[in-house]
Amino acid sequence: MPANLTPEFLAARERFNKAKTLEEKLDALQEMLATIPKHKGTEKMQADIKRRIAKLREQMEQARRSGKGGGPSYHVEREGAAQIVLVGPPNSGKSSLLAALTNATPVIAPYPLSTLKPVPGMMEYEDVQIQLVDLPPITPEYTEGWVYGLIRMADAVALCLDLASPRWREEAEEVVELLRARHIVLTAGPTRPVDWRTVEKRTVAVGLKVDVVPEAGEAFRSWAQDRFPGVCASTVTGEGLEALRSLLFRASGIVRIYTKKPGQPPDFSKPYTIREGATVLDVVKEIHKDFVKRLKYVRLWGSGKFQGQQVPLDHVVQDKDVVEIHLS
């Protein structure tokens, strides 16, 4: 039986043959497995691809343990309440934005591709810290596989665009499509896995250098309106940066929970951070797993309507809720 290989499979195979790093090879093999026609004529090919995937994963694990790799590859240790990656075309102003929002000191240059490896920094927002990671630009020619891997692992994406570029719309769409080709879909909705290879990433659009071309602000807001939450900002004048901090926090997918002891005022010194959609029971587990066995009930202040009432354990908490745990 003829294999009747699809154009998508052939393109992935070509990408595999040109891959230089283990991550790039694994990504291409997974694409090959996903796009190969599933029939009797390709059973041996499918088995061979699966064998190669297993072998590559073993090699990557060995390289990780030994501290060696098959090429440039980077891991960013997560810090803070959430991790958001700065993504964009070349020279979009990502590094300047990282320097403006955090204490990081990335290389800032007027030429493209000055960012060659991930640069993390911590952004303060009220009483929490969120990790921002500046990444190399997304391009058809130069983006390495590990960049896409870091995007897949992040909690959210900040899509950075240079409004001073006459092609900023085309550059934005190109980045979106390049990510989609790697099964990373930028969306206004929550970050979530769609299937075994595709993820949706909650995205904030950032129109930078609005101080240079203020007239581009309205066009940017119109472009972003039906796509992602967006804000215009300038790292020179500071315009829009506080609004951006708030937007990035909301995109991070976390909520802050405060605690109080019976008969005492709430402790607002440091919140517990928990994933959006978490329940009262999840909060109790986060505070101390042993509390679950002794739990009698929980009182809650917040969520728009509660003022110390006892709430069910499956109640979904909201940002800045206060909980009072009663144990037996």
Mean pLDDT of 208-220: 94
Which has more confidence, 269 or 84? 84
- Which tokens go with 127? 């009483």
pLDDT at residue 109 in the model: 56
Provide the pLDDT confidence category of residue 202 given band limits of 50, 70 and 90: very high
pTM above 0.75, yes or no: yes
Mean pLDDT of 187-191: 95
pLDDT at residue 58 in the model: 80
Of 169, 182, 174, 93, the C-alpha closest to 134 is: 93
Tell me the pairing of strands 192-193 and 128-134. unpaired
pLDDT > 90 fraction of the chain, expressed in percent and rounded: 61
Burial of 217 (0-12, 13-18, 19+ CB in 10 A): middle
Least confident of 1-5, 227-231, 303-307: 1-5
Helix (H) or strand (E) holding 273: strand 267-275
pLDDT in tens, 225-265: 989 999 999 999 999 999 999 999 999 999 999 999 999 99
Q: Domains for the chain: give ranges and CATH numbers.
A: 7-66 (no CATH), 83-252 (3.40.50.300), 255-327 (3.10.20.30)
- Which tokens go with 14? 């070509």
In sequence order, the 6+-apart residues with CB closer than 8 A to the CB of 44 are: none
Mean pLDDT of the chain: 89
DSSP calls for 164-216: TSTTHHHHHHHHHHHHHHTTEEEESS--EE-SSS-EEEEEEEEEE-TTT-TTH
pLDDT at residue 73 in the model: 61
pLDDT at residue 141 in the model: 80
Least confident of 12-16, 40-44, 63-67: 63-67
- Which tokens go with 186? 């930028």
DSSP calls for 51-65: HHHHHHHHHHHHHHH
pLDDT at residue 301 in the model: 95
Helix (H) or strand (E) holding 241: helix 241-251
Least confident of 110-124, 137-151, 260-274: 110-124
- Which tokens go with 175? 């980045």
How does DSSP classify residue 111? S
Helix (H) or strand (E) holding 9: helix 7-18
- Which tokens go with 2? 């003829």
Of the CA atoms within 13 Å of residue 11, those in its CB half-sphere come to 8
Give the residues across from 120 on adjacent strands. Answer: 133
pLDDT at residue 1 in the model: 47
Place of tokens 């891991």: 75
- Distance, in Å, from the CA atom of 5 to the CA atom of 113, rounded to the nearest integer, reads 36
Least confident of 15-19, 208-212, 269-273, 284-288: 15-19
- Distance, in Å, from the CA atom of 298 to the CA atom of 303, rounded to the nearest integer, reads 14
pLDDT at residue 77 in the model: 86
